Amino acid sequence: MKRIAVVEKERCNPEGCGGYLCIKKSPLNRMGVEAIVQGPDGKAQINEDLATDALQVVVNVCPFHAIHMVKLPEHLTTRPIHRYGKDQFILYSLPTPTFGKVVGIIGVNGIGKSTAIKILAAALKPNLGDSERTDVDVDELIKLFKGTEMQIFMEKFKKEEIIVSFKPQEVELIQKNAKGKVKELLDKVNETKKLKEVIEVLELTNILDTDINKISGGEMQRVAIAATVLKKANLYIFDEPSSFLDIKQRLKIARFIRDLANEETSVLVIEHDLIVMDYMTDLVNIMYGKEKVYGIVSQLKPAKTGMNAYLEGYLKDDNVRFRDHKIEFDIRSADKEKKKDVRFEWPAMEKKLGNFHLKANAGSIKNQEVIGILGPNGIGKTTFMKLLAGVEEPDSGKLDTTVSISYKPQNLASDSEELVMNVLKEAIQYHTNDIIDPLNLKDLFTRQLKQLSGGELQRVAVAEALGKKADIILLDEPSAYLDTEQRLNISKIIRNVADTTGKAILVVDHDLVFLDYVANRLIVFEGEPAIEGKQIGPVKMEEGMNLLLKEVEITLRRDEQTGRPRINKLDSVMDRKQKDADKYYYS
């Protein structure tokens, strides 16, 4: 069985470990064999040919957990597609674009999803596992994929019959680099001559004359999607198209992307929102392996089968278990909620911010309760949280200021030089077992906040808020930047903190699966974005979900195998049955 060695360069800190502790402790180095050396970048570098059991000690001794040595699955016999360096991440195989279909790519962060689609989009040239090679041509790839669907794709690519349009994950980078107004940007890429139609579908009319660097994250996401589909292509690739969007926008985007696929067009999508992924895809590639070490792409599966296999953590065809536990969705009984005491009450409040007017009804939250907060962007959810947190003062209504509140804002400060261990001091002291360890944060302790990725920063911010001594915890969009497993893991941790400490928690989020997993009751915000917002609730889950789902005209059922929420096909027997019974939230 082949073994690979990987050093995470961003974690490797020779100064912090007293000067290459791995080299000092390596049994082979002590015998004069240069198994580990100082690399040209000043970081540790491993000679993979010498990565035997004898070197396992350096994996355990590294205080920053920067070194990995793993055995690859026995069924993996193919050559790598790409490797970033001699002891860096390795990608095996690629997702399979299929004409007439939307193919979803599902997997944890750091498993190679973005790398794979960058290769398919010709934004990254593969090196077939040899990081020093720059001369790999398409004929080698055709030979590598002989006998598979990818061989057909690569042959079309060679004949220049594949034209790719690619929406990257980091839409904020487009915003930083682009100049001019939104309409000017879209005019430049309007190869399909469908600008008017796309603007209408994606609701961009009101921002056409706005400078690109002054629009919100959700608006930038929709502009990036518009720019992608306005290009003439037969392979459209979308990396996380639902980020920054509310649920109504997510479903509209999902329908829009789904309709792109036809006999002459293929669509690939990376997405972490399970409902959105399920709604827009026909087929799924699962990516698994070990984060930041290696990634493998599964065979294509029907969307339902593939997503259930992902939640199961088991690929039957390959007899591979890639996770040691199933992800299950438990249906909680609402009967117990009535017996809990009220923890916090808020009065009816109003707040004007420019042209926007928020009206919040009086409400309360109980001990051990998690209330989910739903609604469109720009409707007042974050303003409501800021009022409760004391960040904003209401124009009318007086809050109880004797209650201690912990607040995680929507926008996180990412330029701080403070160490993670200092930020999490309170959580480390009192909640190592129930917050720090489940969120895998120990490896981040010695890093500065500004060195963290979006997902890492989010996990730290959630841990900080949950770990504080407070009666009420407010979390604004805790699932942002997180992959599917991290979202469900955080929902379990939030639920557990509420159950074990008695704290009351309010959570704003757009991921319906996440809120379904974590919330006891819901608050729904309605109104006109940027003009007026009003709060409904807290109400029971079914009532709150019905309010929202009626607005977006979909019904949800539970998957019979996993219990996960799924959208019924429009006008299907189940869809009509649930709508006739006025039960949009499960049957």
The mean predicted confidence, pLDDT, of the chain is 92
- Residue 377 is encoded by which pair of tokens? 């962007």
3-state secondary structure 496-527: HHHHHHCCEEEEECCCHHHHHHHCCEEEEEEE
Mean pLDDT of 487-502: 94
pLDDT band at 587, cuts 50/70/90?
low
The answer to whether residue 217 scores a pLDDT higher than 90 is no
pLDDT band at 552, cuts 50/70/90?
confident
Mean pLDDT of 343-353: 95
Mean pLDDT of 470-496: 94
The answer to whether residue 351 scores a pLDDT higher than 90 is yes
Q: What whole-number distance in Å separates Cα of residue 390 and Cα of residue 96?
A: 50
Which residue type is seen at 259? D
What would the pLDDT profile of 232-280 be if each residue is shown by its tens digit?
999 999 999 999 999 889 999 999 999 999 999 999 999 999 999 999 9
Mean pLDDT of 63-74: 89
- Residue 327 is encoded by which pair of tokens? 């992800």
Beta strand 556-558 pairing with 342-346: unpaired
Q: What whole-number distance in Å separates Cα of residue 386 and Cα of residue 393?
A: 8
The pLDDT, as a whole number, for residue 1 is: 53
The answer to whether residue 544 scores a pLDDT higher than 90 is yes
The pLDDT, as a whole number, for residue 175 is: 80
Contact partners, residue 335, CB within 8 Å, separation at least 6: none
What would the pLDDT profile of 23-68 be if each residue is shown by its tens digit?
999 999 999 999 999 999 999 999 988 888 888 899 999 998 899 9
The three-state secondary structure class of 425 is helix
The pLDDT, as a whole number, for residue 335 is: 44
The answer to whether residue 336 scores a pLDDT higher than 60 is no
The pLDDT, as a whole number, for residue 310 is: 95
- Residue 332 is encoded by which pair of tokens? 């909680």
Mean pLDDT of 428-452: 93
Of the candidates 277, 236, 530, the one whose C-alpha atom is nearest the C-alpha of residue 381 is 530
The runs of H, that is alpha helices, within 270-378 are 274-280, 303-312
The pLDDT, as a whole number, for residue 295 is: 96
Which of 106-120, 251-265, 411-425, 491-505 has the weakest average pLDDT? Answer: 411-425
What would the pLDDT profile of 110-166 be if each residue is shown by its tens digit?
999 999 999 999 889 999 999 889 889 999 999 999 988 899 999 999 999 999 999
Of the candidates 52, 12, 1, 11, the one whose C-alpha atom is nearest the C-alpha of residue 29 is 52
Q: What is the DSSP string of 159-205?
A: TT---EEEE-S-HHHHHHH--SBHHHHHHHT--SS-HHHHHHHTT-G
What's the N-to-C CA distance of the chain in angstroms?
49
Q: What is the DSSP string of 255-267?
A: HHHHTT-BTTBEE
The pLDDT, as a whole number, for residue 338 is: 55
The three-state secondary structure class of 184 is helix
What would the pLDDT profile of 503-531 be if each residue is shown by its tens digit?
999 999 999 999 998 999 999 999 998 89
pLDDT band at 328, cuts 50/70/90?
confident
The pLDDT, as a whole number, for residue 332 is: 58
The answer to whether residue 12 scores a pLDDT higher than 50 is yes
Kindly state the percentage of the chain with pLDDT values over 90.
76
The answer to whether residue 565 scores a pLDDT higher than 60 is yes
Residue 144 host element (H or E): helix 138-144
The pLDDT, as a whole number, for residue 73 is: 84
Q: What is the DSSP string of 60-114?
A: HH-TT--EEEEEPPTT--SPPSEESSTTS-EEES-----TTSEEEEE--TTSSHH
The answer to whether residue 331 scores a pLDDT higher than 80 is no
CA trace torsion 495, 497, 501, 502 (10° rounding): -30
Q: What whole-number distance in Å separates Cα of residue 548 and Cα of residue 251?
A: 12
The answer to whether residue 462 scores a pLDDT higher than 70 is yes
167 in Cβ contact with 237 (< 8 Å): yes
The pLDDT, as a whole number, for residue 317 is: 85
The pLDDT, as a whole number, for residue 447 is: 87
Of the candidates 475, 487, 553, the one whose C-alpha atom is nearest the C-alpha of residue 516 is 487
pLDDT band at 387, cuts 50/70/90?
very high
Entry pTM: 0.90
The pLDDT, as a whole number, for residue 86 is: 85
Mean pLDDT of 521-542: 94
